[in-house]
């Protein structure tokens, strides 16, 4: 029997965790001599007060959708993919190679190719850690961390020695051809007069991210593969007994995870920068961990969490612009969210569980007392 009703598990506990994280963040703002309420107001106006702000918020949201889904899929197989950063870096390399290879006539042609390249490169970067975990028993967390660094070194090498145009100092690739330019929200909503989302980087990838949410939801809960992934995550011996191959599921789950993380590059490399630069991922791979933890590995939860972090990122940028609070505040908030929704989850869960058990016992007691009264 469950100790808690389902709504408490999926909504109450995460909200309480989040509340603690936010209260502590507020205290941090107080401690550095700023007003938390004003800070929140600045963040809301900056991130949600205009279509320009929304354009940035949704751009960040798109990044976190992909990395959050990537971590979630791995979580369902009880694998902790901490390598989203490296997989997204490699995805960026795939996008750059695809976009620079041909003078693309139209983005509709370039997008499928670039998306495939991004997903393939991301998946390839997850393949080796997955294979080593499944076959050689090396811990996937450590290998994926190592692959983040190897990926960063590889990107550095490719940018400096291969992709950098002659005569350019900055380690970055050349600009992508105009045919590979994705429509931004400004282009999409141009029929309203062209003033909406002006200059904001949100682009068509947002809709691909939303589609990815539905795809992951369908995959995990409505396909045979998803069932296998979930049962493997719940109990490996039971899955083996049911004829599910641990090696196969580990590798497939990580390939999907890596492909999702890699696909993020469509948003930041092809949609925004339109060229490949060093550290283009900017930590989004790690934010995916916070997003997946907060979203309880469910695509809808991931969507809400990605939106929240998108808001935090844009709001944080506005904060550093208008107040003396540095952008790094967002990293602190992110750390606290990971800490309280992930590692210290039991700190909130245990007392809440006890509360529900006490309430149920009290109800049962009352029920027993009632018939006795009636009999008298």
Supply the minimum distance, in Å, between the C-beta of residue 178 and another protein: 31
* Stretch of residues binding another protein (CB under 8 A), selected from 118-126, 196-204, 215-223, 338-346: 338-346
Supply the minimum distance, in Å, between the C-beta of residue 349 and another protein: 9
DSSP string for residues in 186-220: HHHTGGGTS-TTTT---BTHHHHHHHHHHHHHHHH
Output 113 or 335, the one with its CB closest to another protein.
Answer: 335
Output 150 or 188, the one with its CB closest to another protein.
Answer: 150
Residues touching another protein, count (CB under 8 A): 50
* Residue 330 near another protein by CB under 8 A: yes
Supply the minimum distance, in Å, between the C-beta of residue 152 and another protein: 8
* Residue 82 near another protein by CB under 8 A: yes
The C-alpha atoms of residue 133 and residue 155 are separated, in whole angstroms, by 24
Q: Which of 191, 324, 366, 369 binds another protein (CB under 8 A)?
A: 324
* Residue 347 near another protein by CB under 8 A: yes
* Residue 89 near another protein by CB under 8 A: no
Query: Which residues, in sequence order, are CB contacts of 94 under 8 Å at separation 6+?
Result: 114, 117, 118, 119, 120, 121, 122, 262, 265
DSSP string for residues in 299-360: HHHHHHHHHHHHHHHHHHHHHHHHSS--TTHHHHHHHHHHIIIIITHHHHHHHHHHHHHHHH
**Residue 33 class from Cβ within 10 Å (0-12 exposed, 13-18 middle, 19+ buried)?**
exposed
Q: Would you tell me which residues interact with another protein (CB under 8 A)?
A: 28, 32-33, 80, 82, 128-129, 132, 136-139, 141-143, 145-147, 149-150, 153-154, 156-157, 160-161, 286, 289, 293, 324-326, 328-336, 338-339, 342-347, 350
């Amino acid at each position: 029997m469950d100790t808690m009703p389902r709504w408490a598990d999926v909504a109450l506990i995460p909200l309480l965790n989040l509340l603690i994280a936010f209260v502590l963040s507020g205290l941090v703002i107080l401690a550095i001599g700023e007003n938390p309420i004003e800070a929140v107001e600045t963040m809301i106006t900056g991130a949600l007060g205009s279509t320009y702000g929304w354009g940035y918020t949704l751009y960040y949201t798109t990044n976190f959708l992909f990395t959050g889904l990537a971590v979630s899929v791995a979580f369902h197989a009880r694998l902790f993919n901490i390598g989203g950063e490296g997989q997204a870096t490699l995805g960026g390399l795939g996008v750059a190679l695809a976009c620079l290879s041909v003078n693309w006539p139209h983005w509709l042609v370039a997008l499928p190719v670039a998306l495939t390249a991004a997903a393939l490169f991301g998946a390839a970067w997850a393949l080796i850690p997955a294979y080593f975990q499944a076959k050689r028993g090396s811990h996937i967390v450590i290998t994926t961390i190592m692959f983040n660094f190897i990926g960063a070194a590889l990107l550095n090498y490719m940018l400096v020695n291969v992709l950098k145009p002659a005569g350019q100092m900055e380690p970055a690739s050349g600009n992508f051809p105009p045919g590979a330019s994705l429509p931004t929200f400004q282009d999409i909503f141009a029929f309203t007069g062209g003033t909406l989302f002006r200059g904001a980087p949100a682009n068509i990838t947002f809709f691909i991210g939303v589609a990815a949410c539905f795809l992951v939801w369908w995959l995990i809960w409505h396909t045979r593969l998803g069932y296998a992934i979930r049962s493997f995550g719940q109990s490996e011996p039971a899955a083996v007994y049911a004829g599910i191959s641990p090696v196969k599921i580990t590798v497939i789950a990580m390939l999907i995870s890596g492909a999702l993380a890699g696909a993020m590059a469509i948003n930041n490399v092809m949609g925004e920068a339109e060229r490949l630069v060093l550290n283009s991922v900017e930590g989004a791979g790690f934010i995916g961990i916070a997003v997946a933890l907060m979203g309880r590995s469910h695509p809808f939860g991931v969507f809400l969490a990605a939106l929240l972090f998108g808001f935090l990122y844009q709001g944080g940028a506005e904060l550093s612009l208008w107040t003396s609070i540095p952008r790094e505040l967002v990293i602190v908030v992110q750390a606290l969210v990971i800490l309280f929704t992930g590692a210290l989850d039991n700190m909130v869960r245990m007392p809440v569980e006890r509360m529900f058990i006490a309430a149920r016992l009290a109800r049962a007691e009352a029920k027993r007392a009632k018939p006795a009264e009636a009999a008298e």
